[in-house]
Structure 1
Amino acid sequence: MKVLKWNTPKLVKLIEQESISLRLIHHPSIPKSTLDDFFTFVPTSPLTLYCLVMDKIEGENLEQWSESNGAISQSLALEWLQQLVEILDTVHRTEFFHRDIKPSNIILQPDHKLALVDFGTTRRVTNTYLAKVSGSGGTDTGIGGRYEITAVITPRYTPLEQIEGQAVPQSDFFALGRTFVQLVTGIQLMDFPKDNQTGNLIWRDKALQIDKPLADFIDELMAFLPGQRPQTTKVILQRLEELPQQIKNYKLANSKIVKYSKFALRGLIILGGIILSIPLLSNYLVTQGRKLEAANNSQGAQEAFDWAIKINPQLKPDVSELYFEKGRGSTSNLDLAKKYYKLAIKYNNQNSQIYTNLAVVCQQLQQFECVTDNYGKAIELEPNNWQGHYGLGTFYDERGKYDLAEKQYQLSIKTSNQAILPINNLSRLKIIKGDYNAAIALAEQGLQKAKEPELRAVLYKNLGWALFEQKEYSQAKKYLEKAKELDIHRTSTHCLLAQVQEALGDVDYAWISWEICLLTESREPEVFGWRSQVLERIRLKDPIRQREE
C-alpha cells in the first residue's frame, strides 16, 4: 500500500494519476490495481490519507542488483532491453508514458523476468502532446493554461525536454538508454565524463563487451533531441530484431580473415590470370564483394567490385543495382542511404531513378544543393520524368518558392497524364494564392483519375478547403467529411473541418475536430498556422474554451 500523508494538490494529483494508469495498463510485468484499491482514510481531522493498494512485485531492483553483480553481458543487455521495450510498448499503446525509468524502478523477479514499477509519474499522452505543440511559456510546474504538466526530474536519467515540463513518449527512450549505460558498465552515471561539444556521455571504454552496433543504438536512444531518437516502441522492437545479425556482421567484418581479405583478393586476381577464365574470375569477385558488403566491410567490397569491373565492364549495371537496392533498404539511416545511392551512380551514371532517389534523401537531410543538383540530373537524363519534376516542385514548395514549385508541378502533369500527386499539390498552391476556382477545377480533375482512397481523400480535402475559403460551408463540410471517411489520419482535414463546423455553429463537433488537429502528427505547413491561431484563441479565453471549463 502506498500512503500519501502530505495533502497537497500536486501530490494528490500524482497518486490519482498512478491509480488511473495501473487500472488501465494491463501487462503481467506491471503492478495491478482496481478502482476499489484507491481510497481515502481520515484517522484524525483534518488529516486525510490517500491510500493506493497494488500488487507487490517480488524481487530485487536493478540498482541493488547492479551493485552486487556488476556490469551485464551483451546477450543479457539485449534480452533485458527486449523485455523492457515490450513492457513500454503496452504502456505507450495505452496512451501513457512512464517519465521515471531508472534501475531502481525495474525489478528482477525470481523467474528472471523484469518488471516496471512506480507509476506515480505517468502522464497521458494526449495532454502532453497538446502542451508541447502549444509552445506556451513555462512555469515552475510546467506549461501554463488548461493543459498543465508537472515536471518530473531524476538527475542524469531525465532529458532536457522533460526538465522543461515538456516530456514526450520519446523521453522514456532517453531514460532507457541511460539505464542501460549504467547496467552494461556497472558504473553510476555521475562518474562518466561528457563530450564537451555534444554533451554525450563517454562510456564505451567502460563496456568493452558491448559491440559497436548495440553501443550505437544505446547512444541513439539517448540522443539530445526527441526527434533524433527512435519514434515509437514498434521501431525499437524492429531494430532489436535486426541487432543480433548486425552484431554478427560487425564481428565478421572486424575478424582477421576479413581484415586481410583485400590481400587475398589481389592474390586471387594474379592467380586468376593463370587458372581461371575472365568471366569466372569477375563473377567470383562480385560474389566476394557482396559477402564483404553484407559483413559491413565496404572498403573491401568496393575493391572487389572495382577489380571485377576492370576485368569485365559489363558488370557495372549489376553492381549499381546492388547499391541502389541497399539505398532503398536504408530508409531508417538517411546518411547510409545517401552513401549507397552515390555508389550506385559511381557504377551507373545513366539511371535517372537513382538521381531522383538521392535527391529525395538529400531533401530529408536538408542538403539543398544536393537536392537541386540530383533532380536536375534526373530530369536531364529523362526530360519526361514526372517524378523528378514533382520532387523538385515539393522542394520549392517546402521553401515557400511557390512560383518555382507551380512551374515544376505543371511540367510533371504535362509529362504524365496519370500523375495525381502534382495535380493535388498544384490545387493546394492555387488555394494558398487565392485562386479558388482553379483549385476546385484541379481537384475535380484529379478525382476523375485517382483510385486509391488516400489520394481521393486529399483531393476531397482540397475541394473542401477551397469551398470553405469561398464561404460555401455546407458544400465544404460534405467534401471534408468524405475526405475524413477515406483517410481519417490526415491532420489538415480535421483542422479544416473544425473551422467549417464553427462557421456552421456546430461548436461541440468543432472542439472535437480541433483536439484532433492539435494532437496528431503533421508536416503540412498550413496545419501549423491553424494550430497557432486556435492556441492563441485558447490563450485569450476563447468561447469554446470557456464552455469546456
Structure 2
Amino acid sequence: MSYCINPLCGCRQNPDNVETCLACGTPLLINNRIRLIEPLRPLTDDPQSYFEVFEVEDFGTQLNPVHKRRVMKVLKWNSSKLRDLIEKESITLRRIRHQNIPKSNIDDFFSFAPNNSPLELRCLVMDKIEGQNLDEWSKSNERISQSLALQWLQQLVKILDVVHHTEFFHRDIKPSNIILRPDGQLVLIDFGAARRVTDTYLAKISGSGGTSTRVGNYEITSIVSPCYTPPEQMNGKAVPQSDFYTLGRTFVNLATGISLFDLPTDEKTGNLIWRDKAPQIDKPFADFLDELMATVPGQRPQSTEVILQRLENLPQQIKNYRLANSKIVKYSKLALRGLIIVGGIILSIPLLSNYLVTQGRKLEAANNSQGAQEAFDWAIKINPQLKPDVSEFYFEKGRGSTSNLDLAKKYYKLAIKYNNQNSKIYTNLAVVCQQLQQFECVIDNYGKAIELDPNNWQGHYGLGTFYDEQGKDDLAEKQYQLSIKTSSQAILPINNLSRLKIIKGDYNAAIALAQQGLQKAKEPELRAVLYKNLGWALFEQKEYSQAKKYLEKAKELDIHRTSTHCLLAQVQEALGDVDSAWISWEICLLTESREPEVFGWRSQVLERIRLKDPIRQREE
C-alpha cells in the first residue's frame, strides 16, 4: 500500500503497483525518491492539524545514497510562519549531532507540489527511531523506580546538554516526545518547537509586549503542551531553563504513573502535589524534581552542567538521607541529648564540646542540617572559642557546593552566623548571590567584605563585575581600579578594565592595560584573553595586521574563547581573507559564549547572512 501526499485528495490509499495516485494523479514517488508507506498520525481535514507524519521508503539521493525506512513530516498549509517553523526544525536537526537525536541532512528538506493542487507542501525527512514513546510505555508499565528515574534523567540531560551548547532549546519535552529504544537508550524527538538562543530572541522576550508571530488566531512561538508547558512559555517568553520545567514534569508523570491532569495542585503556589503518589522517590530526589519545576526560571538550575553535577551527587545524598532517617541515627540523637544533660558530670567541658562538634559534622554529612546546628550551638554555648572552627566548617561546605547555589548560600550564611568578621565569607556569599541574580544580597555582602578589609582586591573586583553586568560602566571602572590598586598581582581586574576601555573607545588605554597584564600573567587562559583585548583594540584602530597577530596568539593559547574567533573573523575580512573569515564566523556562531559583545557580533553577521552579503554568496 502507498499513500498519496496530497492532503486534498479524495482517496489517498493506492496499491503498490501504481506510479500515480488513482484519485488525483499525483506521483506516488516524491521527487523520484520518497514513497509514503503508512501515516503515523491519523489523516484528518481539521484545519488546526498543520502537519502530517508518514513512515516512508527513502531510496536515497546522490548526497546520501542509502535505501531505508525513514519518517517524513509534511506541512499541509501555505503559511509563512508555519514554513519558518518546519525550516527551523530542519536546521536544528542538521546542526545538532547526537546519537540520541534523529538525523536529517541538507537534502532531506524540500518542497513538493501535488498534481492539480494549489498547495506547495514542505517536507522534512529524518531517521526513524525504533522503539516506544514514554507516554505509550507508561500505559503498559508500572511507575518507574528511583534508580531508573535517575538513569533516564541523566540520559536526557546529557542530550539536552548538547542541544543547549549548540545554542538551541527544545520547548516541548514530554513523554510522547521521548522514545525508549530496544537497547534501553532514550531518544529526544520532535524539534518543531525548538528555538535558537540569540540576542535578538532574548531582547524580544525581555520586552513587555506580546509576540508578532501568529498564524490566524493560532500562536506559533508560544508552544503549549497542557500540564507540561512552563508559565513563561505560555506568555511567549521561553528560555533554556523552560526545558528543565518540562523535564521535571515528565518525570513526575513517570514516577507517579498518573496523568498530570489528575494530580492536585497547591492553591497558593500552583505546584503539583505528587510525592504521596510516588513513595519510591526519596526526599532529596523529590526536592530536586520540584526545583526543576519551579514557577520562576531563575529558581531552577541555570544550566545542564549544574544539573549533571547535581545528579552525580544525588545517590550519595539519598544514601545520607536514608541513614539520617534510620532507627540507628534516631537512637543516636536521643543518646546525644542524654549526654548533653549529664555531660557536666561525666565529661569535662572541652571533651564534651569537641564531641558535639564531631557529632555536628556527622549529622551534616548525613544531610541532617537541623540536628547539626543544634549540636554546634550546644558546643559553642559550652565553649565559645569553637566559633571559628564551626564557621570554617560551613565555609568549606559552601565552597564545595558550587553545583547547588542555594545550598552554597545557606552554608555561607551559617559560616557568617558563627564568624561575622571574615571578609572572605562575605565575598564568596556575594559571588553566589551574583550567580543567583539576587542583587541586593550582592551589594550588601561585597560592601561588608570591603568594609572589613579595604584591601580585599577580590571584593572590589567582584563588585566591579556586578556593575559591569548591569551596564554601569563608570561604577565598574572605579571598582576595577581599586582592585588593581590593592593588589599589584591581580590580573583579572586589569583585563576587565582593558575591555571596558575598548567599549568606551579609549583604545590606547586599553592597549596599555593589556600590555601591563601580559607582563604579570603566567596562565595561558589569562594571557589569551589579554592578547584578545590587545587585538580587539588594534582592530578598532584599523591596525589589522597587528590585530591579526595578537588574535592568532590568543587563539593558540585558548582556542575555546568565542570572542577571539568573532574578532579574528572581522580582521580576516578587513584583510580580504574571505575564506578564513567565514570559517572563523562559523566558530563564532556555533560555540558557547556568555560574553555580551559576542551576541552583538553574532547579530550583525546573521543579519548580513539574511541579506545575502558577499560572504554568504561565496558559501552558496
Counterparts of 1:25-174 in structure 2 under 5 Å?
25-26=98-99, 57=130, 61-85=133-157, 101-104=173-176, 106=178, 113-116=184-187, 119=189, 121=191, 132=201, 135=204, 139-140=213-214, 154-158=225-229, 173-174=244-245
Q: 1:321 Cα deviation (Å)?
A: 1.0
User: How many percent identity over aligned positions?
Assistant: 78
**Could you tell me how far 1:283 is from its partner in structure 2?**
1.3
- What code does the residue aligned with 2:574 have? A
SS at 1:209 equivalent: coil
The secondary structure found in structure 1 opposite 2:420 is: coil
Q: How far apart in 2 are the matches of 1:50 and 1:523?
A: 35
Whole-Å separation in 2 of the counterparts to 1:418 and 1:364 = 25
Distance 2:146 2:573 in 1: 57
Is 1:464 matched with 2:535? yes
Preserved CA contact (<8 Å) 1:82 1:237: yes
Pair 1:283-2:283 in alignment = no
Partner Cα distance (2:287, 2:180) in 1 = 26
Deviation at 1:326, TM superposition (A): 0.6
Change (3 A) 1:541 1:437: same
Does residue 501 in structure 1 map to residue 572 in structure 2? yes
Q: 1:387 offset after TM fit, Å? A: 1.7
Instruction: Choose which of 372, 380, 390 in structure 2 pairs with 1:309.
Output: 380
The CA deviation at 1:301 is: 1.2
Instruction: Look up the equivalent residue of 1:139 and give its one-letter code.
Output: T
Return the alpha-carbon distance in structure 1 between the equivalents of residues 410 and 357 of structure 2. 19
Match for 2:272 among 201, 205, 214?
A: 201
- Give distance in 1, aligned partners of 2:91 and 2:483: 55
Aligned residues: 537
Match in the other structure for 2:345: 274
Contact 1:14 1:121 in 2 (8 A): no
TM-score normalized with structure 2 length = 0.71
Q: Name the CA distance, whole Å, in 2 between partners of 1:451 and 1:485.
A: 15
Q: Which consecutive unaligned segments of at least 5 residues does structure 2 have?
A: 1-36, 38-54, 57-71, 206-210
Partner residue, 2:598: 527
Contact 1:99–1:122 (8 Å) recurs in 2: no
| Distance across 1 between alignment mates of 2:110 and 2:508 | 62
SS in 2 for 1:495: helix
C-alpha distance in structure 2 between counterparts of 1:310 and 1:544, whole Å: 73
Per-residue CA distance 1:398-452 (angstroms, 9 max, x = gap): 3334333333322322222211112112222322333222221111111111111
Q: Is the 8 A contact 2:467 2:473 kept in 1?
A: yes
CA 1:154–1:410: 2 relative to 1, 3 Å = closer
Distance change (3 Å), C-alpha of 1:368 and 1:514? same
Tell me by how many angstroms 1:165 deviates: 8.7
Identify the residue that residue 412 of structure 2 maps to in structure 1: 341
Residue in structure 2 matched with residue 350 of structure 1 by the alignment: 421
Q: Which amino acid aligns with 2:520?
A: K
1:298 aligned partner: 369
When you count helix as a share of all residues, which structure comes out higher? 1
User: What is the deviation of 1:325?
Assistant: 0.4
TM-score, normalising length: structure 1: 0.80
Q: Does structure 1 retain, via aligned residues, the 8 Å contact 2:89–2:194?
A: no
1:251 is matched by which residue type in structure 2?
Answer: R
CA drift at 1:193: 4.3
Q: Secondary structure at the match of 1:271?
A: helix
Question: CA separation of 1:528/1:76 partners in 2, compared to 1, >3 Å: closer, same or farther?
Answer: closer
Q: CA deviation at 1:532?
A: 4.6
User: In structure 2, which of residues 466, 487, 493 is the aligned counterpart of residue 422 of structure 1?
Assistant: 493
Distance 1:545 1:158, change over 3 A: farther
Match 1:452 to one of 494, 506, 523: 523
Task: Please tell me whether the aligned partners of residues 538 and 547 of structure 2 are also in contact (alpha carbons under 8 angstroms).
Answer: yes
Paired letter, 1:475? Q
Distance 1:16 1:419 in 2: 46
CA distance in 1, matches of 2:325, 2:404: 22
For 1:266 and 1:22, how far apart are their aligned partners in 2?
Answer: 61
